[in-house]
Amino acid sequence: MRAGADDSHAEVGGHVRVEIDDDIAVIVVDRVGETVNTLDPDVAESLFAAIDRCASDAAVRGIVLTSGKPDSFMAGADVRWLMTLEDSSEAVARLAGMHAALDRLEKLGRRGGKPVVAAIHGPCLGAGLEVALACSARVASDDEARTQLGLPEIRLGLIPGAGGTQRLPRLVGLPAALEMILTGRSVRPRKASRIGLVDVIVPHEHLLRTARGLAREGAGQRSSRRSLTPSARRLGLDSNPVVRRLVLARAEQRAAKETKGNYPAPAAAIRAVRAGLGRRRGSGAAVELEEFGRLLIGPEARALMSIFLATRASKRGFTLEEYPAARRARDVGVVGGGLMGSGIAAVTVATAGVRTRVKEVSTESSARVLRAVGSAVDGLVAGRRMTEATGDRSKHLLTVTTDWTGFAKVDLLIEAVFEDLEVKTGVLRQFEEIAGPGAVFASNTSSIPISRIAANAADPTRVIGMHYFSPVERMPLLEIVVTEKTSGDVIATAADLGRRQGKTVIVVNDAPGFYTTRILGPYVNEAARMLGEGVSIRVVDGAMEQVGFPVGPFELLDEVGIDVAAKIATVLHDAYGDRMAPPPGLASLVAAGRMGRKKGLGFYTYEGGKRRRPDPTVAALVGATSVTKPSQEEISDRLILAMVNEAARCLDDGVLSGATDGDLGAVLGLGFPPHLGGPFAYLDRLGAGGAVARLRRLAEHHGSRFEPSPLLTSLAESGGSFHG
């Protein structure tokens, strides 16, 4: 352990090494075989063994804890390991051991002991932050782009389980702690310093030297740990029970309103925090452990963790390494600078950092593109997601023109023109006349089969679909659509660009509507049918928002454009027959000039571009002659089961390569409630037999469009599941 003539390093359990610098031990966590540090039992055992050995070494006066990864401290618990825990008592027992180890760590720096200083650069999240909270002090790099500290467990349906609900409120005060725990949002270095979460921020190159100095300075002294930030002290939040109750009550009200009863974790977190504010310190830890164990085996956490793991897994398919002929796009073209085209250009220059040239029809519309992209970049700067200098560089990567000048050198062209086959094939023809060898043509269509666009292409192997979602800057999904002729290197080229744009990528096979649009069709059709039956817009939208969709189907139709939805409905009806037949009400609304938000009139009324209220005259336009109010369960059953039944057909038809992609696409692209895990996770929760029984009941009452898909029926008969 001690540095001597032979070696100043000691390996501890493979994932941790100890480096002795005079009287300071530097513990370096460097998980083997991973690009970031996450904690599982092996890594935790190595870490705490190293800490215990340093604690028992009389020559060591202080300890620095840091990471061997270049731009990451610790990214939390290993979710793959958490998913293996299927029993609440096992989870509690595992975490109880970590609680005990962190208690020892916290006590180590007290009463003239050995200070432990966390030296943080890059993400310090979840269990990683909980380890840092138990240290005597925290030093962070001032890198606002890379370094962040947070407790994101709530986004996985969990709460901090290694003392985070107990230590964070004592360190930064109750309001700041609740904000971090209940939102899962992380804080950057300057704010972390301001609220008292870190003691010092320094340039990255000075991080270890500063941490060693703090450890040496604090050795033999009583801990200078702050239990409250100055602002919290002034408010007396930790000592005034009335104020404390008020803060907690408001947090409970806000959590109940935002979760609509679908997510149990926020209420559990508040219970754990409340228990930790009592006189008996250990009681809060016990509540935290109990709540964590209960949540971990619950369906909401399982669904959210599955989506998290699926998102990570999506980064591994169709990589440039797999396809040597694929190219990394250095120059990208976009044809059509409307809402979608401008959004695509924005993420290409700002997030991917790629030169982008946009073709528009006039100088006036070109100016609109420049303003839209500039505004998007300014928003990133204002939100501190990029520096002002980086923002300026991003803007200079964009050029706009009204002709094809400069497009001969682009590696990949994305057309984002009207949803019209003739227009799209016309763009393809013009591009092929000037394109360089190997250039890729991608269509941002939401429903037209890519094979039809590529039917007369000079080289159909270079044609692909890149289906973005609106607003492009915020929606995380990119649905890549491939035909039988699309080459693998073209898929890898498109997927690489999508990931650089910050998108989660799923690859689906070509068919009318692909995957996401195809399963959305039955959902919005069913909503429109209910409207014709006399169910109000507010009741339908409210029911689906209560289930967990971010917006209801009618608000969604207004955002997409009722005219666009009607065109897509025609494509789906032609392709899939009567089960996709749209109700006549949609055509009636388009004929009446109702296009949605863009025209200021749709299912809702708008004033100054802002949605106001459902338009009561819509009912007459769609032929509703009576008023009905079915239960929320009936509304959600009809809409959700229509969607998930079609998802099963997509898997059966080969549009999807697996159920996981289907879940990911629906959650990230369509807003399918994350706590339900996606269409296939939801069907597994119901059980194939239960889903088939519900669908057959709906078919009896509402028609053959609800007949269960063959794959779902087969699984019901065999007792199988989609994720089995």
Contact 443/424 with Cβ under 8 angstroms? yes
Shared-domain flag, residues 479 and 577: no
Shared-domain flag, residues 241 and 184: yes
Per-residue pLDDT tens over the stretch 290-307? 999 999 999 999 999 999
Query: Is pLDDT of 437 > 60?
Result: yes
- Indicate the helix (H) or strand (E) that contains 166: helix 164-172
Shared-domain flag, residues 288 and 337: no
Contact 386/380 with Cβ under 8 angstroms? yes
* Residues 190-208, mean pLDDT to the nearest whole number: 96
Q: Tell the residue number behind the tokens 């190293």, with chain if given.
A: 50
Per-residue pLDDT tens over the stretch 243-301? 888 999 999 999 999 999 999 999 999 999 999 987 666 789 999 999 999 999 999 99
CATH number of the domain encompassing residue 647: 1.10.1040.50
Shared-domain flag, residues 363 and 286: no
Residue 399 token pair: 């050029």
- CA dihedral (586, 590, 595, 596) in degrees, to 10, reads -30
φ, ψ (nearest 5 deg) of residue 124: -125, 90
Per-residue pLDDT tens over the stretch 377-399? 999 988 878 889 999 999 999 99
pLDDT of 236: 53
Per-residue pLDDT tens over the stretch 523-546? 999 999 999 999 999 999 999 999
pLDDT of 226: 42
Shared-domain flag, residues 372 and 290: no
How far is Cα 36 from Cα 30, in angstroms, rounded to an integer?
A: 8
How far is Cα 397 from Cα 509, in angstroms, rounded to an integer?
A: 33
Residue of 490, 55, 22, 376 lying closest to 213 (CA atoms)? 22
Q: Tell the residue number behind the tokens 């027992």, with chain if given.
A: 93
Contact 403/363 with Cβ under 8 angstroms? no
How far is Cα 327 from Cα 93, in angstroms, rounded to an integer?
A: 50
Contact 645/712 with Cβ under 8 angstroms? yes
Please indicate, yes or no, if residue 713 is contained in any of the structural domains: yes
Q: What is the DSSP string of 341-384?
A: HHHHHHHHHHTS--EEEEE-SSHHHHHHHHHHHHHHHHHHHHTT
How far is Cα 150 from Cα 182, in angstroms, rounded to an integer?
A: 11
Query: Is pLDDT of 404 > 90?
Result: yes
How far is Cα 517 from Cα 508, in angstroms, rounded to an integer?
A: 12
Contact 645/709 with Cβ under 8 angstroms? yes
Contact 143/195 with Cβ under 8 angstroms? no
How far is Cα 205 from Cα 207, in angstroms, rounded to an integer?
A: 6
Shared-domain flag, residues 344 and 246: no
Query: Is pLDDT of 215 > 50?
Result: yes
From the CA atom positions of the chain, what is the Rg in Å?
28
Shared-domain flag, residues 521 and 506: no
Cis omega (within 30 of 0) for bond into 471: yes
Contact 265/165 with Cβ under 8 angstroms? no
Residue 351 token pair: 């997030």
pLDDT of 624: 86
How far is Cα 481 from Cα 537, in angstroms, rounded to an integer?
A: 33
- Residues ≥6 apart with Cβ < 8 Å to 280: none
Opening angle at CA 464, ends 461 and 465, nearest 5: 165
Per-residue pLDDT tens over the stretch 657-715? 999 999 999 999 999 999 999 999 999 999 999 999 999 999 999 999 999 999 999 99
Q: Tell the residue number behind the tokens 């269960």, with chain if given.
A: 708
Per-residue pLDDT tens over the stretch 551-582? 999 999 999 889 989 999 999 999 999 999 99
b/e per residue 106-134 (b: at least 16 CB within 10 A): bebbeeebbbbbbbbbbbbbbbbbbbbbb
Per-residue pLDDT tens over the stretch 43-98? 999 999 999 999 999 999 999 999 999 999 999 999 999 999 988 998 899 999 99
Contact 32/15 with Cβ under 8 angstroms? yes
Which of residues 467, 483, 510 is at a domain's end?
A: 510
Least confident of 45-49, 168-172, 584-588: 584-588
Query: Measuring CA to CA, how many Å separate 611 from each of 260, 389, 607, 644?
Result: 22, 36, 7, 29
For the chain, the domain total comes to 3
Which of residues 510, 531, 555 is at a domain's end?
A: 510
Shared-domain flag, residues 290 and 355: no
Query: Measuring CA to CA, how many Å separate 691 from each of 580, 675, 687?
Result: 20, 18, 6
Please indicate, yes or no, if residue 350 is contained in any of the structural domains: yes
| Three-state secondary structure call for residue 595 | coil
Please indicate, yes or no, if residue 303 is contained in any of the structural domains: no
pLDDT of 584: 84
**Exposed, middle or buried, 588 (CB in 10 Å: 0-12/13-18/19+)?**
middle
- Indicate the helix (H) or strand (E) that contains 712: helix 710-718
**In terms of residue numbers, what domain contains 396?**
331-510
Contact 566/587 with Cβ under 8 angstroms? yes
Catalytic residue among 153, 288, 473, 479: 479
CATH number of the domain encompassing residue 279: 3.90.226.10
How far is Cα 236 from Cα 227, in angstroms, rounded to an integer?
A: 12
Least confident of 11-15, 72-76, 325-329, 504-508: 11-15
Shared-domain flag, residues 370 and 251: no
pLDDT band at 221 (very low <50, low <70, confident <90, very high): low
| Three-state secondary structure call for residue 614 | strand
Please indicate, yes or no, if residue 625 is contained in any of the structural domains: yes
Query: CA end-to-end span of the chain, whole Å?
Result: 47
The answer to whether the Cα torsion of 175, 176, 182, 183 is positive or negative is: positive
Shared-domain flag, residues 385 and 496: yes
How far is Cα 598 from Cα 620, in angstroms, rounded to an integer?
A: 22
Single-letter code of the amino acid located at 712: L
Query: Measuring CA to CA, how many Å separate 587 from each of 440, 579, 584, 590, 638?
Result: 36, 17, 6, 5, 22
Up-side HSE of residue 701: CA atoms within 13 Å toward CB? 8
pLDDT band at 111 (very low <50, low <70, confident <90, very high): low
How far is Cα 497 from Cα 86, in angstroms, rounded to an integer?
A: 38
Contact 24/115 with Cβ under 8 angstroms? no
CATH number of the domain encompassing residue 483: 3.40.50.720
Please indicate, yes or no, if residue 318 is contained in any of the structural domains: no
How far is Cα 36 from Cα 226, in angstroms, rounded to an integer?
A: 30
Which of residues 484, 510, 536 is at a domain's end?
A: 510
Catalytic (active site) residue 717: no
Query: Measuring CA to CA, how many Å separate 313 from each of 317, 374, 468, 693?
Result: 8, 33, 20, 33
Please indicate, yes or no, if residue 291 is contained in any of the structural domains: yes
**Exposed, middle or buried, 679 (CB in 10 Å: 0-12/13-18/19+)?**
buried
* Residues 111-120, mean pLDDT to the nearest whole number: 88
How far is Cα 168 from Cα 404, in angstroms, rounded to an integer?
A: 57
How much is the mean pLDDT over the chain? Answer: 92
φ, ψ (nearest 5 deg) of residue 290: -65, -45
Please indicate, yes or no, if residue 458 is contained in any of the structural domains: yes
Shared-domain flag, residues 495 and 605: no
Please indicate, yes or no, if residue 533 is contained in any of the structural domains: yes
Shared-domain flag, residues 504 and 530: no
Share of the chain above pLDDT 70, in %: 95
Opening angle at CA 181, ends 179 and 186, nearest 5: 75
